[in-house]
């Protein structure tokens, strides 16, 4: 039997997305969820781990940030070789790693290139895990707010993260109700945020509604009017899987890397996340029996279910 030579490589490159995030050994969230999402949506994922975590479906037990010089070396090596269209940032872990990433982003934005446009940057502000484990040193929060937020294209906070960024965790925190969205939006934009998707997964509203908020770019006067767009899906009343925030933000980054507008990218990512949720029961790993009946596992998303 004779074998034909394989076809030559195509010149058409995949949308290339860099994810900077913590490693989840259970592969439900973090770097691993980003990797699955980016590839499922037709992109090529580059990965820079910022921390190693020990976690499973029951929660995070240990967080160990990587040395900043290791993160810096990874970033510099990738930037020297790849044309990156989008960057997704998740868990950063330590002040040193945070400052390293900030300097990297500044270098990209301050070095104009004739061939390549600066990448879109999506920041998922993960400050604490769903099981209550801190994912960023508390002393790093002012640097995170004052120096990182203004550098990114979009942030994707849930309601607890909005309250943490606005320092409203104890006094009159937002609950995520629709009537609160303009106030939340204005407060976030006052932090020099360029745009935000305020996620509705933690609210008590009937629908799972996310809000893309930014300044109205169509206005030519000095008044900065808010532009708020809502994206709703049916709320799925199941045990919340971990990794939804990672999946959503990396999906938005991938859609931006494809050249979609911000509003289109959010809509496509919202549809993809909904698909991973409704088909999650078909993508569960094999678990050991629980020793305590009160323990509740969070399920894994189905990243590779065909959304068509």
pLDDT digits (tens, 9 = 90+) for 187-223: 999 999 999 999 987 777 778 899 999 988 765 554 4
**Whether the predicted pLDDT of 45 surpasses 70:** yes
What's the CA gap between 133 and 131, in Å, rounded?
Answer: 6
Task: With beta carbons less than 8 A apart as the criterion, state whether 277 and 241 touch.
Answer: yes
**Mean pLDDT, rounded, for 53-68:** 90
Enter the pTM of the model. Answer: 0.90
CATH class of 16-281: alpha beta
**Mean pLDDT, rounded, for 278-284:** 83
Summarised one tens digit per residue, pLDDT across range 101-137 is 999 999 988 876 656 688 999 999 998 876 667 788 8
| Range scoring the smallest mean pLDDT among 57-61, 95-99, 262-266 | 57-61
Number of H helices, E strands in the chain: 8, 9
**Mean pLDDT, rounded, for 171-178:** 84
Crossing angle of helices 262-278/244-257, nearest 10°?
140
Mean pLDDT of all residues belonging to the chain: 87
pLDDT-derived band of residue 80, with 50, 70 and 90 as boundaries?
Answer: very high
**Whether the predicted pLDDT of 307 surpasses 50:** no
Percent of the chain at pLDDT > 90 equals 59
């Amino acid at each position: 039997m004779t074998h034909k030579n394989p076809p030559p490589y195509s010149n058409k490159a995949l949308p290339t997305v860099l994810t900077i995030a913590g490693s989840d050994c259970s592969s439900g969230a973090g770097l691993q969820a980003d990797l699955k999402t980016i590839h499922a949506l037709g992109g090529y994922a580059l990965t820079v781990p910022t921390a190693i975590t020990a976690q499973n479906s029951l929660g995070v037990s240990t967080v160990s940030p990587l040395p900043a010089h290791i993160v810096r070396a990874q970033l510099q090596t990738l930037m020297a070789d790849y044309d990156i269209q989008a960057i997704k940032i998740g868990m950063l872990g330590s002040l040193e790693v945070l400052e390293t990433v900030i300097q990297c982003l500044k270098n990209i934005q301050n070095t104009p290139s004739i061939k390549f446009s600066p990448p879109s940057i999506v920041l998922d502000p993960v400050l604490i895990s769903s099981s209550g484990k801190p994912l960023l040193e508390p002393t790093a929060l002012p640097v995170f707010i004052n120096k990182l937020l203004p550098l990114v294209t979009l942030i994707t906070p849930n309601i607890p993260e909005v309250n943490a960024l606005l320092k409203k965790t104890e006094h009159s925190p937002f609950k995520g109700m629709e009537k609160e969205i303009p106030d939340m939006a204005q407060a976030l934009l006052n932090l020099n945020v360029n745009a935000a998707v305020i996620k509705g997964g933690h609210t008590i509203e009937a629908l799972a509604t996310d809000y893309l908020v930014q300044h109205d770019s169509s206005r030519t006067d000095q008044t900065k009017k808010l532009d708020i767009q809502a994206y709703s899906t049916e709320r799925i009343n199941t045990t919340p899987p971990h990794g939804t925030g990672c999946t959503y933000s990396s999906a938005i980054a991938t859609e931006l890397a494809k050249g979609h507008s911000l509003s289109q990218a959010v809509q496509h990512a919202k549809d993809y996340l909904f698909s991973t949720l409704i088909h999650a029961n078909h993508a569960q790993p094999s678990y050991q029996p629980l020793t305590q009946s009160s323990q509740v596992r969070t399920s894994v998303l189905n990243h590779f279910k065909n959304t068509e």
